[in-house]
A and B are shown apart, each in its own frame.
Chain A
Amino acid sequence: MHAVVDSLAMIGVSYVMGFLFYGFYRQFNARVQRRWGPTIWQNLFDNMKFFFKSETLIHGPMFFFGPMIIMAGAFTTVLFVPFLKDSDWLQGFSQYGNLILIIYLLVVGPLGNALAVGSSGNPFGVMGVTRGLTRLMGLEVPFFLGLAMVMLQHETASVHAIMAAQDSLAHWGIVTNPIAFCVILLPFIGSQHGAPFDVVGAPVEVYAGPRVEFGGRLLGVLMTQRMMMSIAKLVLLVDLFLGGATNILVLIAKAFSLFLLTTVISMVFPRLKTEQAVDFFWKVPLGLGVLGVILTVWLPSWSA
């Protein structure tokens, strides 16, 4: 019973945080561009509108199951990320998983949806998927290297144990392992589909990217899962680098500050092409990561 209530609570929290954060993003973005912008509730309204569309066009069974897989993947991901530390609540099934599992779970859903895109028969959609996979290939290398540095630092892949080790500000991951945080930050923006790495689904690119054929309730599902996945990733980074959170308010505050940081970076850079993005990930964050490995792993072992 506890597990059921807890799971529903996690899904609810991530959904609410998702539409509020992205509502804020739209307004903030508008103000930076000297527009008035929509209300902070706009993402919720959009989402609800999609869900109550009366007509949905599909292109065969796989096209329908793709968004279901991606949604199930989002739920599973959210349920395997611990939202709070030292608490019985908002834990989901995170004690049965670990960091590497979460990173892979983040990809399961999008790959399932890629099947739906393929079965729609629209070449623009598949082109978008290929771009998405290419970008993933670029960002995953530095992202995972940064996470590996964190795992090495704490000698565990368990998110709970990593959170527990950060008991005070001085022990936060961002303080004890700043290189790993810097390595991860830009690929993290890429994994959130944020600018300047948002070429995959950006409105003016290859028509509309992977979502080109989706409409109505299916588009609603895709929008929901993206908001929830983004929150899961933000919370994961809070757990790893900002010491986790002991209650929901602290969690929102920390996740929001991280979101603000990524938003600010996103707003000032122009969009990169896919291959430019990949090349950038392999030069700057990965170069920094290699430097970090040499400094934190190789040098201590030589001097020892």
Chain B
Amino acid sequence: MSAILRLLFLIVSLSPGLLLLAWDGSLSWTLIDGVRLSLTLTPLAGFFMVLLAVAAPLVALPMLRRPLDWSSLALYVPLVLGMELLLLAGDFISFFIGWEIMTWSSYLLLLRSPRADLETSQSYILFNLASAFLLLAGILFYYSLSGDFRIGPLAGTTFGQELILAVLLGLAFLIKVGTLPLHIWVPSSYDQAPDLFSAFLSGAISKMGVYGLILLLTLFPDALTSLAGRLLEGPAAGYLLAWIGVVTSVVATYKAIAQEDMKRLLAYSSIAQVGYITTAIGVGSSLALAGALYLALVHTLVKVLLFISVAGIVLQTGQRRFKDLGKLIERMPVSFFGVLIGIIGLAGMPPLPGFAAKYLIFVSLVDARWLLLLAAMILASTAAFIYCYKLIYGPFLGHANSPQAREAREAPLIYLVPQVILMALLVLFGFLPGLPVQVLIDPVLVALGMETIGGASWAELTTTYGGYDGVVLMLVFIIAFVLVTGIFLLLRGRMHRAGSPYDLSYAGEVPTEGTPLHYGAGMGRELHRIPLVGWILRRGTRGFYLGLAGQMRAAAALLGSLYVGRPQIWILIAVVVFAASLAAQSMLGGL
């Protein structure tokens, strides 16, 4: 029985992939009079379905490790199915139903973690409900404009109407994406969620917000070219969105560096990465959208990989803070390579595909002449090296800092299989940076009516500003590495290993077991001394929300004071005003 259920679970987790292969045409039926539901797979939705098809089974696999948590497995099923519905939706009713199923099943899954506290779960559900209500309001407003729930470009709307719609839907999706200052639900919920589910939260669910943002652009026929005029060479309306994205990434990057817990660091890094995607969507050119989609793909691969690796470390050691780990490289080599490949992708280093995505976004910013945005993005992108290094140094290098870290064993096979698959995919895309462009991204660009950017071969990534060849780059690097290592080993002389881990050049002293030699927790603390960074790190959005709460309370008190005084007077005034307006209208002949 249990085996059959587990098989069923795996089949559901594979269903996005099966759907991609088997889906043909579209479904449509009438819900009530005048409202039709329709399911269809647009190229844009197809792209995000690919992300889901990669993330869902790879996260599902390690969840099958015994002892099984049947409730989590049961909740994962509606979550995946809800997201499929959301992506297939050709109308806003099914879109909303899918969105709600996703919100509630992910909330219940979050609650399965023993670490989830009241504040986190409350902020998760409140922010996501706010997102859902904004979405609902936006959908109803959309219906009032177009008279139809079908998702399609709007025609004949005024600028004011477009603005209201864009703000309602935009806010809904930005909450899901987690841009500043709407991000505060993200770090604690990614941190406290069940370890494997964090991978899905970051890898797949946050991408639904990105899908929504791009979908929002398609509602306005001229949005991608000239919404509200042009600024330099890009759309003026996107400039604000781009800055929101960049400020999000800069702040989230510094917050990530300051974290002392692996999962919180990854959570902030997710916020930062999705910030880049938001920026690219703001630029809106075909290069930028290609960059946004590419980064969404890479981020899904990288974050699922990193969160599963970290889940493996937590499983084997029970520790999640940098200061309690260390020197796992010898005990967990596969996880080490998982994190290594993950951070190379995360940092956007060549030759892995993270670089291809960053390259497209950088070039699109130069092309749009938005150089100040580019500089701010470089700041975030370079500062990210520090937290990437912290993420690999803290757990894997240095000295083991807890008994568990000293005795840990490699993560179970069921955790390693998804990691190896993801590493292979990342390396493959490193060789062939043009492959995702031609196979996944170009169809989306065609469907959006934009220029394609695919090159002559899968190995090349081409833009009007020039490109690069992944195969040549990778081969040069590999050959150079092999040659250097070979020549080095051929040189005369021998190498031997230090006798003990305390055999160090320690400023003339001899360190002992009691000497604090692990630098993991303190790394990045000195950044506080840089004025700008210190300023960012001293501030939080908590103050903003406390201020907002204060204002709400003041407004409520004001309303209350009207009522507490003498309600009859206010009712009397209301009746008089009502009567007067009725009288005035009847005299003018309105009735």
Contacts and interface: CB of A to CB of B under 8 A. Distances in A.
A40 interface: no
B372 A293 contact: yes
A148 interface: yes
Interface stretch (B28-36, B154-162, B483-491, B544-552): B483-491
B164 interface: no
A140 to B, nearest CB: 4
B501 interface: yes
A51 B493 CA distance: 9
Nearest to B393: A118
B382 A137 contact: yes
B530 A275 contact: yes
Contacts of B330: 60
B197 interface: no
Interface residues of B, number: 76
Contacts of B488: 68, 217, 221
Contacts of B359: 100-101
Interface in A214-229: 216-217, 221
Given A124-B506, A279-B531, A115 B397 contact: yes
A209 to B, nearest CB: 12
A144 B505 contact: no
Contacts of B399: 121
Given A97-B468, A111-B385, A120-B504, A137 B379 contact: yes
Interface string B471-514: 01100110011011100100111111110010111110000000
Nearest to B397: A118
Interface in A67-84: 68-69, 71-73, 75-76, 79-80
Interface stretch (A153-161, A169-177, A238-246): A153-161
A5 B506 CA distance: 44
B412 interface: no
Given A72-B477, A76-B477, A127 B504 contact: no
B518 A137 contact: no
A155 B382 CA distance: 24
B526 A286 contact: no
A124 B472 contact: no
A144 B355 contact: no
B529 interface: yes
Residue in A52, A54, A57, A137 whose Cβ sees the most chain B Cβ within 10 Å: A137
A72 B480 contact: yes
Interface residues of A, number: 85
Contacts of A54: 492-494
Given A56-B493, A213-B504, A289-B375, A126 B519 contact: yes
A17 to B, nearest CB: 19
Interface string B316-351: 000000000001011000000000100000011110
29 contacts: A55-B493, A56-B494, A58-B495, A58-B496, A60-B330, A60-B497, A65-B485, A71-B480, A71-B484, A96-B473, A100-B359, A104-B350, A111-B349, A115-B397, A119-B397, A121-B397, A121-B501, A122-B504, A130-B526, A134-B530, A137-B383, A145-B371, A158-B465, A158-B466, A207-B507, A217-B488, A275-B527, A279-B532, A297-B232
Interface of B: 232, 327, 329-330, 340, 347-350, 355, 359, 362-363, 365-366, 369, 371-372, 374-375, 378-379, 382-383, 385-386, 389, 392-393, 396-399, 463-469, 472-473, 476-477, 480-481, 483-485, 488, 491-498, 501, 503-507, 516-519, 523-524, 526-527, 529-532
Interface of A: 51-60, 62, 64-65, 68-69, 71-73, 75-76, 79-80, 93, 96-98, 100-101, 104-105, 107-108, 111, 114-115, 118-124, 126-127, 129-131, 133-134, 136-138, 140-142, 144-145, 148-149, 151-152, 155-158, 161, 207-208, 212-213, 216-217, 221, 274-275, 278-279, 282, 286, 289-290, 293, 297-298, 301
5 tightest CB-CB pairs across the interface, nearest first?
A: A118-B397, A158-B466, A72-B481, A96-B469, A75-B480
Given A96-B473, A136-B385, A212-B505, 11 more contacts: A58-B497, A93-B476, A101-B355, A104-B349, A119-B397, A122-B506, A136-B382, A148-B362, A151-B366, A213-B505, A217-B493
